[in-house]
Amino acid sequence: MADWDKIYVDYQQGGEAWATLSEGIHPLFKQFLNQSNFKHQQVLDIGCGTGKYASWLINQGFQVDGIDSSPTAVQMTKDLLGGQAGMIKEANMFKFSIAKNKYDLIISVATIQHGIKKDIQNLINKIHSALVAGGKTFITMPDLESSKKWKTFKSHQDLGDSTFAPLAGPEQGLPHSFFTKVEVQKLFAKFSKVKINLDDRGRWVVQAAK
């Protein structure tokens, strides 16, 4: 069973609300949406989890597709949305083929850091290609300094280039990449109107447009 699938199975059975499972919709995301206009209202949620962002967006009038590596999470999203969403699919985000020029919004909250930096850059490039002209993205990823404060990373394997894999806990063995602000700027070099904020959980919140 995949790391995150086990986390969702445990959560379904009354276990710990790990990481963002315990969070509501990010306040900066609500602000971002209120300040933006989307002509097509077509969204892709990378790492849709339990479907809370998809559900919230649907209530705002959006059509939402979503992917997640956890089959349990995918089913939870489908159950929550009850047929209101578009494509909700189990997929590896780094291998998933995203249609070009399809979405005017692509979001990913506390997800795309789960890999090595080369794969993350390739995914961000695919996100850029998948957006329509003027389309926007809202993505979070952890700040390098915050890695020193994560309890689960007190014991970890250093994979190089500020990428670590915890040696214990629910995400044991899963690569996590951490970034400086300069690195985040380079990741989104193809985008325009890039806005980068550090939230109170030590995550870079990136808002950008194609």
**What share of the chain has pLDDT > 70, as a percent?**
92
What is the pLDDT at residue 154?
A: 74
Q: Mean pLDDT across the stretch 163-171?
A: 83
Q: pTM value?
A: 0.92
pLDDT in tens, 70-125: 999 999 999 999 988 899 999 999 999 999 999 999 999 999 999 999 999 999 99
What is the per-residue pLDDT across 52-66, written as a single tens digit (0 to 9) for each? Answer: 999 999 999 999 999
Q: So what's the pLDDT on residue 96? A: 96
Going by pLDDT thresholds of 50, 70 and 90, the confidence category of residue 1 is very low
pLDDT attached to residue 24: 83
Tell me the two tokens of residue 209: 């447009």
Q: Are 49 and 21 in contact (CB under 8 A)?
A: yes
Query: 3-class SS at 132?
Result: strand
Q: Return the exposure string of 9-39: e unless at least 16 CB atoms fall within 10 Å of the residue's CB, then b.
A: eebeeeeeebbbbeeeebebbeebbeeeebe
Report the pLDDT value the prediction gives residue 87, as an integer from 0 to 100. 94
**Closest to 120 measured CA to CA, from 47, 171, 25:** 47
The overall average pLDDT reported for the chain is: 90
Domains of the chain plus CATH, in order, are 92-209 (3.40.50.150)
| Number of neighbours of residue 89 by Cβ within 10 angstroms | 14
Instruction: Compute the average pLDDT of residues 164-189.
Output: 90
23-37, 60-74, 126-140, 154-168: lowest mean pLDDT where? 154-168
At residue 179, the pLDDT reads 96
